[in-house]
Amino acid sequence: MATDRPLQQQPRARRIGIMGGTFDPIHNGHLVAASEVGHRFSLDEVIFVPTGRPWQKLTDDDAPVAKADQARAVSPAEDRYLMTVIATASNPRFTVSRVDIEREGDTYTVDTLRDLRRMHPEAELYFITGADALESILSWQDWEELFELANFIGVSRPGYELHVKHLAQHLEALPPDTLQMLEIPALAISSTECRARAARGRPVWYLVPDGVVQYIAKRKLYRSPRASSPGVSAP
């Protein structure tokens, strides 16, 4: 006999997004990416994971770095961690993990995923990565293993093409949902630009959350030695 009662639904596994980044500083592009993936994939939580020692942004002697415009070392992990906590505090589904900053040595995503898999054995993991990071994923440590440890969500980013041509052969052997692409609202913001603005005393209001503006000023982050003190001017 037919009944109006809804069918009993199987409880589904907890879905956890992982947003890895150097977050120097965290900006609204990161937050929109995590929020959009969280919504589209019905994630229960997004864990932000600041890198400890982002080896591709450092030279051997920790002095200035891979990208030509970054005449600087990466800010202390504790500052990047605290900015990430401040930026995510208002969202009950966002949390921050210290796994990468507490692990010794260079930060590799393969270790991040192993650690989080151990801490959340029942969950489905979704690693979130922007189009630029996805482009260079073949240079990551043990990259072939990454797709066995988590699903990957590649998100669009202004100025970069979101594609998987370089991974197509590897993905053939894996389940179809292993790597999915998502167009997200386009925010042409980068940490590099935020640092450059702060160094010149230009505002970073509305590029980063308000609390991060205050933190940058309080800790005097990104100031070039010759610049006059920008402090926190009104927005």
Ligand X SMILES: Nc1ncnc2c1ncn2[C@@H]1O[C@H](COP(=O)(O)OP(=O)(O)OP(=O)(O)O)[C@@H](O)[C@H]1O
Ligand Y SMILES: O=C(O)c1ccc[n+]([C@@H]2O[C@H](COP(=O)([O-])O)[C@@H](O)[C@H]2O)c1
Read out DSSP for 177-208? Answer: GGEEEE--------HHHHHHHHHTT---BTTB
Which range, of 17-25, 90-98, 99-107, 219-227, touches ligand X by CB under 6 A? 17-25
* 54 interacts with ligand Y by CB under 6 A: yes
Which range, of 19-27, 81-89, 118-126, 164-172, touches ligand Y by CB under 6 A? 19-27
Using an 8 Å Cβ cutoff, are 36 and 155 in contact? yes
Kindly state the tokens that stand for 146.
Answer: 């990454």
Kindly state the tokens that stand for 152.
Answer: 């990957």
Q: Which does 107 bind (CB under 5 to 8 A by kind): ligand Y, ligand X, none?
A: ligand Y
d(CA 143, CA 109) in angstroms, rounded, equals: 9
Residue with tokens 């991040």: 112
* 21 interacts with ligand X by CB under 6 A: yes
For the window 177-196, what string marks contact with ligand X as x by the rule CB under 6 A?
----------x-xxxx----
Tell which one of 28, 75, 84, 107 touches ligand Y (CB under 6 A).
Answer: 107
**CB of 168: closest distance to ligand Y in angstroms?**
20
Tell which one of 16, 17, 23, 208 touches ligand X (CB under 6 A).
Answer: 23
Give 178: exposed, middle or buried? Use CB within 10 Å, 0-12, 13-18, 19+.
middle
In degrees, rounded to 5, the angle at the alpha carbon of residue 28 between the alpha carbons of residues 207 and 76 is 85
* 141 interacts with ligand Y by CB under 6 A: yes
The binding site for ligand Y (CB under 6 A) comprises 20-22, 51, 54, 56-57, 107-110, 133, 140-141
